[in-house]
Amino acid sequence: MPTSIKWFLPLLTAMLVTNVAHSAVPMAGEQAPGYYRTMVGSFEVTALSDGTVKLPVDKLLLNTTEEHVHETLAANFQSAPLTTSVNGYLINTGKKLVLVDTGAGSLFGPTLGNLANNMAASGYKAGDVDEVYITHMHPDHVGGLVSEGERVFPNAVVRANQQDADFWLSDKNLSEADEGSKGFFQGAMASLNPYVESGQFKPFASDQELVTGVSVIAAKGHTPGHSVYKVESEGDTLMLWGDLIHVAAVQFPEPGIAIQFDTDSEKAVMTRADAFADAAANGYLVGAAHLAFPGLGHLRDAQTGYDFIPANYEGGQ
């Protein structure tokens, strides 16, 4: 056998063994911890992922048809059921640590409930949070307030609109609700009542600044007291929209499309139209609970409706 071939055979054998070994490595199957940081003026904002959930949006969206939803999703390389993000936002003003929405906790299935762990991975402890602001009391926004009946944020004041509290924490409304809706009331009560009992729940009745640089603005329709939060620092603005939008590919080009989760879909459509127009006109950053994580970006007028431009990735300081 020629010397060159004698030299090559051991190398070929080693390569084959290496390739076999590599092909046997199991897939990791998990994402990195779900947090993303950006600055709004001098405020540090950390987007926190609670996870994702598959939603049958073709059957949930209103003022449209299933066929149109399928076509629009397909044009955006998506399909139903749609993998949908659930996001919360942690704001460090330098003086206060404020969390907007808490994720689903244990109320929405095994693919959600990761917000507290992702907050810890991001370098913050639940006990550090001074204030928790709730956009509305649906289970995927308030479930993370408690774990096994205990307060997750023991040192925080919890704030939400008084009308949402009056609606979702009402025993009368629970008793009169249809069977498909009772879980929404029960989830809100289980999540908020420990803070009510401890004196840490302080609802608000009007638009106001809650801490320096963070204000609440009524955005009713999705629920009776749905609220958005405006974060302002050094001339920069971030508007946290909660559930003003659920399906980006469908509702940005057609804001008139509503969803069955809306308490008042007509009012929700009007509120969304006003919010989209203001964001496009003024160019500020927006964040929303169900935009693909981290759910941050800007709006731009388009031929039909609006384009959503995701925020550019920032790799750190």
Count the Cβ atoms, other than its own, within 10 Å of residue 204.
17
CA distance 105 to 113: 4
- Best CATH choice for the domain 30-310 from the list 3.40.50.1860, 3.20.20.70, 3.40.50.2300, 3.60.15.10: 3.60.15.10
180, 62 in Cβ contact below 8 A? no
Beta bridge partners of 308: 299
Question: Per residue in 235-260, pLDDT tens?
Answer: 999 999 999 999 999 999 999 999 99
Confidence grade of residue 226 (pLDDT, cut at 50, 70, 90): very high
No. of helices (H) and no. of strands (E), the chain: 10, 17
CA atoms within 13 A on the CB side of 50: 33
Q: Is the pTM of this model over 0.75?
A: yes
* Lowest model confidence (mean pLDDT) among 28-37, 63-72, 171-180, 230-239: 28-37
Question: Per residue in 6-50, pLDDT tens?
Answer: 544 454 455 444 454 455 888 888 888 899 999 999 999 999 999
90, 126 in Cβ contact below 8 A? no
Bridge-based pairing state of the strands 157-159 and 97-100: unpaired
Question: What is the mean pLDDT of the segment spanning 270-290?
Answer: 98
CA distance 258 to 220: 13
Confidence grade of residue 98 (pLDDT, cut at 50, 70, 90): very high
- Which pLDDT does position 211 carry in this prediction? 98
DSSP classification of residue 32:
P
CA distance 164 to 220: 10
Compute the C-alpha angle 77/83/87, nearest 5°: 120
Q: Which amino acid is at 229?
A: Y
* Lowest model confidence (mean pLDDT) among 134-143, 195-204, 236-245, 308-317: 308-317
CA distance 9 to 166: 79
Average pLDDT, the chain: 93
Confidence grade of residue 316 (pLDDT, cut at 50, 70, 90): low
Q: Which amino acid is at 115?
A: L
Strand, coil or helix: 116: helix
Question: With pLDDT > 90 as the criterion, what percentage of the chain qualifies?
Answer: 88
- pLDDT at 293 exceeding the cut of 50: yes
Question: Per residue in 75-94, pLDDT tens?
Answer: 999 999 999 999 999 999 99
More confident residue, 314 or 100: 100
Bridge-based pairing state of the strands 146-147 and 157-159: unpaired
Q: Domain map of the chain by residue range?
A: 30-310
- Which pLDDT does position 68 carry in this prediction? 98
CA distances 272 to 197, 255, 276, 279, Å, are: 34, 7, 6, 11
